[in-house]
Amino acid sequence: RLNNSHHEQALGNSGKEELPFKNYVLLHASRKTFSNVKVSISAQWTPSVQNVSLSPGETWEDNHLFADENQATLFLGALDSIFLFSYAVGLYLSGVIGDRVNLRYVLCVGLCGSAAVEFVFGTLTEWLHIYNIYLYCGLWVLNGLLQSAVWPCVVAVMGNWFGKTGRGFIFGLWSACASVGNILGAFLASSVLKYGYEYAFLVTSVVQFAGGVVVFFGLLTSPKETGLNPVETDTDSHRPLMSDEENEVEVEVYGRRYQSVQQPDEPLVEPPRAIGFCQAFCLPGVLPYSLAYACLKLVNYSFFFWLPFYLSNNYGWKEAEADRLSVWYDVGGIIGGTVQGLISDFMGKRAPVLAISLALAMGALVGYSNSPNDKVINAALLATTGFFIGGPSNMISSAISADLGRQEALRGSQEALATVTGIVDGTGSIGAAGGQYLVSLIESKLGWMCVFYFFVVMVR
* 26-32: average pLDDT: 90
- Mean pLDDT for 119-146 is 94
* Residue 370 pLDDT grade (very low, low, confident, very high; cuts 50, 70, 90): very high
Q: List, in order, residues 6 or more apart from 15 with CB less than 8 Å away.
A: none
pLDDT at position 62, please? 52
3-state secondary structure of 148: coil
Return the CATH number at 95: 1.20.1250.20
Q: What is the pLDDT of residue 49?
A: 47
The band of 10, judged by pLDDT with boundaries at 50, 70 and 90, is very low
Pairwise pLDDT comparison (86 vs 7), residue with the higher score: 86
Provide the pLDDT for residue 458: 92
Alpha-carbon torsion 365, 438, 31, 312, what sign? Answer: negative
Q: Domain for residue 124, yes or no? A: yes
pLDDT score, position 234: 41
What's the pLDDT at 399? 74
% of the chain beyond a pLDDT of 70: 77
What per-residue confidence (pLDDT) applies to 410?
A: 62
Q: Nearest to residue 296, comparing CAs of 340, 358, 352?
A: 358
Domain that holds residue 30: 16-53+61-220+275-459
Predicted pLDDT at 153: 83
- pLDDT of 405 higher than 90: no
Per-residue pLDDT for 242 more than 60?
no
Instruction: Name the average pLDDT for the chain.
Output: 79
Say if residue 433's pLDDT is above 70. yes
Please give the pLDDT value at position 270: 54
Residue 274's pLDDT is what?
A: 62
Please give the biggest Cα pair distance in the chain. Answer: 82
Confirm whether 227 is domain-assigned: no
Structure confidence by residue, pLDDT tens digits, 43-57: 888 875 445 444 544
Phi first, then psi: give them for residue 274, nearest 5 degrees: -70, 135
Task: Name residues whose C-beta falls within 8 Å of residue 56's C-beta, 6 or more positions apart in sequence.
Answer: none
Please report the pLDDT score of residue 59 as a whole number. 44
Q: Taking residues 255-277, report their average pLDDT.
A: 52
pTM of the predicted model as reported, rounded to 2 decimal places: 0.73
Whether residue 267 is contained in a domain is answered as no
Q: Give the per-residue pLDDT at 179.
A: 83
Q: What is the pLDDT of residues 326-335, one digit of tens each?
A: 999 999 998 9
In a domain, 298, yes or no: yes
Judged against a pLDDT cut of 90, whether residue 147 lies above it is answered with yes
> Which has the closest alpha carbon to 330: 400, 363, 379, 295?
379
Task: Please report the pLDDT score of residue 376 as a whole number.
Answer: 94
Read out DSSP for 199-228?
HHHHHHHHHHHHHHHHHHHH---SGGGGTP
Q: What is the pLDDT of residue 111?
A: 94
For 284-294, how does the pLDDT look when each residue is reduced to its tens digit (9 = 90+)? 888 888 898 99
- What pLDDT does residue 4 have? 43
Residue 160 has pLDDT above 90, yes or no: no
Look at residue 226 and tell me whether its pLDDT is greater than 90. no
Confidence of residue 232 (pLDDT cuts 50, 70, 90): low
| Residue 71 belongs to some domain of the structure | yes
Beta carbons within 8 Å of 143's beta carbon, 6+ residues apart? 83, 86, 114, 117, 118, 121
Say yes or no to pLDDT of 411 above 90: no
* Residue 39 within any structural domain of the chain: yes
**Least confidently predicted of 51-65, 185-199, 307-321:** 51-65
Domain contains 83:
yes
Which of 296, 313, 314, 316 minimizes the C-alpha distance to 304? 296
Q: Looking at residues 23-41, what average pLDDT do you find? A: 89
Query: How many structural domains compose the chain?
Result: 1
In a domain, 4, yes or no: no
